[in-house]
Structure 1
């Protein structure tokens, strides 16, 4: 399983660095062909050779030296709604088709107007514009007002490249570097074009884009590095990191966005090296190991970009409501009796739980054969039904690899369901495992039948573990190995999710580890195998925030860390973080039930689970919205406060939905500093005290307190918590109304029609609450506005009582206190 460690070392070495490489990049636009909103650019490309050159005394650099040859290249611009440009580049004449399973369907063209001048072509849409300069070629994007957002970096008038061209050089003699049209001495990135190694035939397509001072970048998948990716190198290659504290990634997504107001999606499953100003600071560079360049550019703010990306690659399905309850697991529950005993203990101790997970040890021979050992799990269907009566669903582990010793191996090998070596034999790893070939429809159907046997026993969740080991050197029935490696998690999770929905429509999901672009359609994903310390906890959060900014609305992590046993304080702090995450699962290589960590852990589990379950209507309402608009539930502060420069690097706190700011504690210190974004005020949940935004506050955080703040201007629905989601239908909805500048509001969307609550406090201190839509539950208001004197609800006077500085209204109250 761990061949990834070797593979990463090889892949992480830069491939296109030596002398003698052929660099081919567009220099002139010789003409265009227009077909509605699609523009074909006919390009004349310079063919250069990468060579060393003396830049100054004793200082050697590189040059792209013109060979005297020109070559045709073709690019296309496709203008798509609502704010998208598809840019493609290929060698020669014409563009081959490039269908990819990451893209669900390409939208119809968007209206576009074109103006040609002597120097350029200008293209105008309703909300943005593009310019293609003719000679030298360059593409630029701007907003509707002409503000420059994106500019390709394919020349430089202000650095040593242009200086050398003007003759400021040492030595004498004819040198093509003196001709500004012919050579690029000292140029530090590969421009928009193609690079080829003439000795090996290896090639990549490249793109370089100008970077402004202070520009930030976010996305690229689940990355455990700092949130702002400016200054980092990111490798687009799914790998098992065996942890969460290194530069490898279970989930790679070739999508990112810039603080300047645009995003980019590279439409390929091939290897990509993103050099985001980690070496050269004036431009970022992308090297794409494919046969052409195909990317989608999105113009707009961060939320608009995420929404446009989701429209292109697919919106997430909405997980069932019970999935937002607590999940309990360990590696492993060894038998049916143990599972039922833990479930009973959770209920006896009044510790809420909605899902229990059974990991790998349930199999008959530990060969991962998709079947329960009847000796240890004699009646899985009965166990599922028993737990379901307690409000608990069952989840089961599996992987997409077949051991040679498993009963299923021979059948799969004989029918061609496994990845193969060049000689046609099954491609077995050094661990004696073969990889299911999900590019073969018959293999997919066979695999789904195996899962169906589990699901029909009452299982509601399939844990799609692993998925990172489909090697690019293997042979696959319907896919090039160079594509299959990154595509594998998408095909794998799709197959599992589809059969889940066939057996339990709308009441099942997967729990995936590896992912690629498009996997967000098949929820949900967790952060992988973290260390059980504060670093593992913090780096998990960074990964979740990064994945959320890569188009994945739903994410979780292993509470307590996966490896080893956490210290009790680490467990408690991680438990608090988990309870205020989009989904929460306790899991690791040893017990993760709270009683394994002492009575204090049990008490605080109960306390924070009660908080989570009181917020379940809010969480599900936010989940529905996120599934629709493509934004994450776990929200980096920069997503909602892009105008506040102080939040661009913050990755140790977040918004849960849009209303709650959560600041986990990553140490044994009894306090922590929390930055509160500008633009609103913030109410500290634990004390009711208000703090203005735009400042860093230091709050006390003893072991029983994780800092949580309500966002000013919001109203958050809460209910009386129960022991599981399915058995606690709310009888009364309590709205935590937290006004900012006298206003608050929220649209609550769960299983019923939307309910909208608006609050307004005027200068006479009269508060007006308007509730619109069908109100399915009893109404209670907790209004955190100490200067309020009078309350009207839907125009009618209402009585309320004071609890400290909070005004409390409950429907049916008979007097004012």
Structure 2
């Protein structure tokens, strides 16, 4: 939302008022913070306080390194939910420290402070490290205010607000060269400076400015992050209205955000996870290859068997088989009942799949909508399970499913019904759930079962309650660390219910690059686990694109083959090319490599959850925050702490990538290179730039290992890459429990007593 026309003029149709000075500072009602009374004109005489709006700004410590900033115009406005579920593990204690000096009044929360300037008739609030070594950002003149649209000319007009929109906004300063990242799974430019971003969940694909997963958190290259504490629509002008400021605005009377001081990206994300929750754990089996039927393809039990038998014959292990939409009867999505014409014996079919060893787990597609052609639609209407319009009608439209209704998760009975449907699926052998959709939730002309909720806030927040319900149902059935979703929509806090995938992308190299940018941005928004439709969702991928996408997709934390109107089994892509360069051989090779990487991947997954950081895709700036180039890299990523991956987008196999400072070793050839430097390489389909960071102890499964779940300390290979004293590798079992640590001490490798069987230790050489 833009409130100005250039630097000098107010935008047409807007009336804007700003906090012009800090007139008075008092304690907040909690007694822990400072409340600033800020009039919208400078107070020079006693008469200036009349017929005047003021803005209240409350600054309070949240925990060490985090302050909250609440801005309010009219404090009598009703505060409707839903609200984000903050501090799910409890809020840490932090003493409030307030000090006064010639410069002003300073409030501190451990390592982070805010100083309100003491200069008369001035508005200046600076955020900085408590030791004053790091200046972060500032609220300067005309940086906090509110606006009316259409513009009012007389205060009496605000007696009737029914036809007036009221916005409140803040503008934090952007420093020279500062970049902004995150804000969910965004597919545009990695650095958000210069962009207008609306945080409003939408089903817009991967080639637009819309996003399935809008997360109201962003990170600055200057060492801080900002979390905007509301699930309603938030509009950001990131150096796009005023080039030197990030403007945040909402329609309403209040705006609250938290500023988090790192200073490193790791610390920022770790502290952000205190606010909104740490990512949930995922089981080791979920890291294996997932194979989908694809979306609009026709399939039955014979089709499924042919896929799995074909994969087995080509030496491609499949861990999870996914039944996409048409496991359900047409027009009846989603009533949780297998189409008996195509699947007369779903329980028996699933049992047979698992018994013959072609697959270990089964997933099915669901969504929170119900087509009126389903026999259960009338029951759901009668029992009040569906969202209503204000006149009492069921909210229906013909988007997606004919006469579709939306499950109202503010109704406890509707939640119980939805859970009962899931449990029936578990009873027949389903192990995990793809929670599709949840973005197109109406915000106008709707009445929720809970009358206290704000429909505009419910639009984004629906993703949280939808995925939370399914995830916790899975946990109850299978165990706390055995639950897995495959979700498309998310909001802040949804990282607690893994995992998510990147939505509908085209089968092009450009779309693969878009997906990578989306995964990187989501990782910088607190999500540890992420996947993508390997080969692209829309269209028919060329064999070379499919194979390059396979290499990228098997180095994401989770890996799924999925398409729209065409299958993604490899032999359908290249007419069953049986050569070493064919799609089948390429998929087999990368699936086997991921299996070998499991001791490293699953150990790193535990650290990712603990610290609230991405496993893969991990942006380079997380590992190399002091390298300015790392903040610009959007075509490569880290997998955990030690592996660098640069996907290939050219049919020729040529790729340009960057290695930060230090020695890096090619995983495949053992060749070492030194950074910081850019490199260009050309690769076959069996390789890509996969480089191991120096000072790494990399634990791998034995050569030829093809399983996802096995003993991660037995018959392993330990590779030492220029490891010096202090280098370490945590060893975990297939449940994620730490069983030991390898560490270099006095030039020797300690902790080997945990290793079992015929383990091998190799040392990289110059």
Equivalence for 1:616: 598
RMSD: 2.5
How far 1:323 moved relative to its partner?
0.3
Equivalence for 1:139: 125
The match for 2:302 among 312, 316, 337 is 337
How far 1:378 moved relative to its partner?
2.3
Whole-Å separation in 2 of the counterparts to 1:299 and 1:705:
39
Hey, which of these two has a bigger chunk of strand by percent?
1
How far 1:151 moved relative to its partner?
3.4
CA distance 1:123–1:361, change in 2 (3 Å) = same
Whole-Å separation in 2 of the counterparts to 1:284 and 1:622:
34
Equivalence for 1:437: 408
How far 1:617 moved relative to its partner?
1.6
Equivalence for 2:430: 459
The match for 1:561 among 536, 545, 549 is 536
Whole-Å separation in 1 of the counterparts to 2:435 and 2:374:
18
Whole-Å separation in 2 of the counterparts to 1:20 and 1:498:
46
Taking the TM superposition and a 5 Å limit, the aligned residue runs for 1:79-228 are 79-92=61-74, 100-105=83-88, 107-117=91-101, 120-134=104-118, 135-155=121-141, 191-197=143-149, 200-228=163-191
Equivalence for 1:283: 245
Equivalence for 2:211: 249
The match for 2:568 among 574, 592, 596 is 592
Mean Cα displacement is larger for which, 79-88 or 118-127?
A: 118-127
Taking the TM superposition and a 5 Å limit, the aligned residue runs for 1:359-758 are 359-368=324-333, 369-389=335-355, 390=357, 391-431=359-399, 432-473=403-444, 474-478=446-450, 479-505=453-479, 506-589=481-564, 590-596=566-572, 597=574, 598-599=577-578, 600-633=582-615, 634-678=617-661, 680-720=662-702, 721-726=704-709, 731-739=714-722, 744-750=727-733, 751-758=736-743
CA distance 1:322–1:148, change in 2 (3 Å) = same
Mean Cα displacement is larger for which, 209-218 or 701-710?
A: 701-710
Q: For residues 669-697 of structure 1, give each alpha carbon's deviation from its aligned partner in whole angstroms, at most 9, with x where no partner exists.
A: 2321111012x210011211110110011
CA distance 1:685–1:333, change in 2 (3 Å) = farther
CA distance 1:343–1:730, change in 2 (3 Å) = farther
The match for 1:313 among 276, 282, 293 is 276
The match for 2:258 among 290, 296, 301 is 296
Whole-Å separation in 2 of the counterparts to 1:380 and 1:359:
14
Q: For residues 566-616 of structure 1, give each alpha carbon's deviation from its aligned partner in whole angstroms, at most 9, with x where no partner exists.
A: 000000000011111110000002110112223311111111111110001
Whole-Å separation in 2 of the counterparts to 1:294 and 1:258:
18
Whole-Å separation in 1 of the counterparts to 2:4 and 2:306:
53
SS at match of 1:229: coil
Q: For residues 679-726 of structure 1, give each alpha carbon's deviation from its aligned partner in whole angstroms, at most 9, with x where no partner exists.
A: x21001121111011001112213332111011111111003544424
Whole-Å separation in 1 of the counterparts to 2:466 and 2:190:
28
Q: Tell which has more relative contact order, 1 or 2 (C-alpha 8 A, sep 6+).
A: 2
Runs of 5+ unmatched residues, structure 1: 1-10, 49-65, 156-189, 762-766, 787-817
Q: For residues 207-252 of structure 1, give each alpha carbon's deviation from its aligned partner in whole angstroms, at most 9, with x where no partner exists.
A: 11111111011110000012111221111100001x2111110100
Equivalence for 2:764: 784
SS at match of 1:627: helix
Q: TM-score, normalised by structure 2?
A: 0.89
SS at match of 2:19: strand
How far 1:734 moved relative to its partner?
1.0
Whole-Å separation in 1 of the counterparts to 2:298 and 2:272:
40
> How many residues were matched structurally?
718
CA distance 1:772–1:728, change in 2 (3 Å) = closer
Q: TM-score, normalised by structure 1?
A: 0.84
Taking the TM superposition and a 5 Å limit, the aligned residue runs for 1:42-81 are 42-46=36-40, 69-81=51-63
Pair member with larger Rg: 1
Equivalence for 2:315: 350
How far 1:446 moved relative to its partner?
1.2
Runs of 4+ in 1 over 4 A off after TM superposition: 11-16, 34-37, 92-99, 727-730, 740-743
Equivalence for 2:155: none
How far 1:785 moved relative to its partner?
2.8
CA distance 1:768–1:99, change in 2 (3 Å) = same
Runs of 5+ unmatched residues, structure 2: 43-47, 153-162
On the 8 A contact 2:387/2:395 being kept in 1, the answer is: yes
Whole-Å separation in 2 of the counterparts to 1:360 and 1:80:
44
How far 1:758 moved relative to its partner?
2.2
